[in-house]
Amino acid sequence: MEIYDVCLHIGNGGQWLGDFYVKIKKQLEDRGLTVVFYTDVPDIKQYFDKNGISSYVFLDKYEGEIDLDFVMNSLTELGLNPKSLYNSEQKFYDIEEKDCIQYFARYVHSVLKLKNIKKARFYVTYEGDEIDHNIFRVLGRLNGGKFIYWGISNLDTRTHFHDDEKRYFETPFENNQPITEDEKVWLEKYVESYTQKKTNLWGDPKREDVKFKFGYIISALKKIGNKITNSDYDPRRTFGHAFTRYFKRLLRRQYAYLKYNTKFSFDDGIDYYYFPLHVPFDSQLTQRGLPFYDQVSLVQTISNYLPYSSRLIVKEHPMGRGYYSISDLNKLAKLSNVILLPAYSNSHDIVPKAKGIFVINSSVGYEGLMYKKPVVTFGRSFFRKQGLTIDIDSLYELEEVFDKIERHEVINEKVYDFLWRVKKNTYPVDLYFINEGNYNEKIVEFVNALEIELKKRL
């Protein structure tokens, strides 16, 4: 049986995503590499069949009786923690664990029962924690392949590759070549440009609310049109569940306005610290910040150690509005030394005036370094352990963290060295903002990057 050089995972994104990867396949094959696809998305399979693509693995849900013990024991034998593979989506979609297990197990069962499957030496996917990524990891392990994960680093915005099973990219510390004068000038201009950003990154909040409501209505209509019911074993995609989630999110979004401090202005006589919240259930928390997963508890702990008369500014992630529970919003609002700002507040207005910044692994920590602010990190991130941040491994360290902030200095030369290492170890292709309108522009750079990473390992 032929063993391909690489298996590329294609998730849910529409048929344009299928076209993106087919063009990548052609260019990689022109460069002497063999490619097979993996997907569990019917639209992608339909696109392949329509265009005569046969080198793919399509995974459909198993429809018979499920032996959960067989599934869970098989995952354990592969060295995988079953709960960690569905935990993120269970919480994100707010569904019962038993329902999520049934849905998840049907896909795993299908993988375990695949016969005469096309195999590859390397399995490439995004470093996410969604179920489809984790099913792909099961497939790769069963076939004895090695993984290459890709993800997003800043600078602005570049792609990195790694093979860490924690799905965490650590910027290599070695920089064998000194920074030239021209390169230093480029870095200085980059930092200057970055710190002068004053745009409203997320647009007008009222317009965003209209887009939010309209988006959910369109999604619900599609679910009715596709006649999706509980009989497909996917509790995430039923109309009833989508409507319930929409109603809950709408309620929480509106309730949050009651808790926002909309009249806040900075007082020159007060020290401010800043903690930006993550989108709840995002893989930045579930995969790269799990010990600090409960963000509200972490804020409460920081609040307990906060110096007298100081204030901690907390802000919801703009894409997380409606996901923070009413209980959590109440807890934050009750903390006398915590200021809960509206989600649409711009971090570029907050960071320059903050004495220190606390992040799990938010990109705001990266921004803080541009502003030469002390940044305290809890989770794994590409800017942690670079000699620039105050890195926390245990909450006991908060007893001394404010003294460390007082003494901490962010040195320009170290920032430039870090930024240069990020640039040298990433690729100039922005896959964060890829869409149907711009994907053709990104093909060549992604192929160039993938070819380099594959040939390093082959």
CB neighbour list of residue 281: distance below 8 Å, 6 or more residues apart = 88, 89, 91, 92, 323
What are the C-alpha distances in Å from 42 to residues 13, 236, 304, 388?
11, 16, 51, 46
What are the C-alpha distances in Å from 397 to residues 282, 297, 301, 376, 422?
25, 16, 11, 11, 28
The dihedral through the CA atoms of 122, 123, 129, 135 has a sign that is negative
Q: What is the assigned CATH class of domain 172-200+260-424?
A: alpha beta
CB neighbour list of residue 387: distance below 8 Å, 6 or more residues apart = 414, 418
Task: Note every long-range contact of 236-239, with CB atoms under 8 Å and residues 24 or more positions apart, other chains counting.
Answer: 236/89, 236/93, 236/95, 236/103
* Terminal Cα-to-Cα distance of the chain (whole angstroms): 19
pLDDT recorded at residue 205: 59
Distance CA 414, CA 421 (A): 11
pLDDT recorded at residue 150: 96
Query: For residues 224 and 233, is the Cβ–Cβ distance under 8 A?
Result: no
Alpha helices of 271-397 — where are they, by DSSP H?
283-286, 295-305, 326-334, 347-350, 363-370
Distance CA 348, CA 139 (A): 43
Tokens of 188: 């200085």
pLDDT recorded at residue 230: 45
Burial of 366 (0-12, 13-18, 19+ CB in 10 A): buried
Strand partners, 291: none
Beta-carbon count within 10 A of 140 CB: 23
The strand pair at 158-162 and 146-153 is best described as: antiparallel
How many Cα atoms within 13 Å fall on the side-chain side of residue 182?
Answer: 0
Distance CA 42, CA 60 (A): 8
pTM of the model: 0.90
Beta-carbon count within 10 A of 45 CB: 20
pLDDT recorded at residue 94: 82
pLDDT recorded at residue 227: 47
Second CATH level (architecture) for the domain 3-59+114-171+427-457: 3-Layer(aba) Sandwich (3.40)
What are the C-alpha distances in Å from 437 to residues 17, 347, 423, 434?
11, 28, 26, 8
* Per-position pLDDT tens, the chain of length 458: 789 999 999 998 888 999 999 999 999 999 999 999 999 999 999 999 999 999 999 998 888 888 999 999 999 999 999 998 998 888 888 888 988 898 899 999 999 988 788 999 999 999 988 899 999 999 999 999 999 999 998 888 899 999 998 888 989 877 567 888 999 999 999 999 888 865 555 455 556 666 766 766 676 666 555 545 444 556 666 767 777 888 888 899 899 999 999 999 999 899 999 999 998 888 888 888 888 999 999 999 999 999 999 999 999 998 888 999 999 999 999 999 999 999 889 899 999 999 999 999 999 999 999 999 999 999 999 999 999 999 999 999 999 999 999 999 999 999 999 999 999 999 999 998 899 999 999 999 999 999 999 999 98
Distance CA 412, CA 140 (A): 43
The dihedrals phi and psi of 300, each to the nearest 5 degrees, come to -60, -40
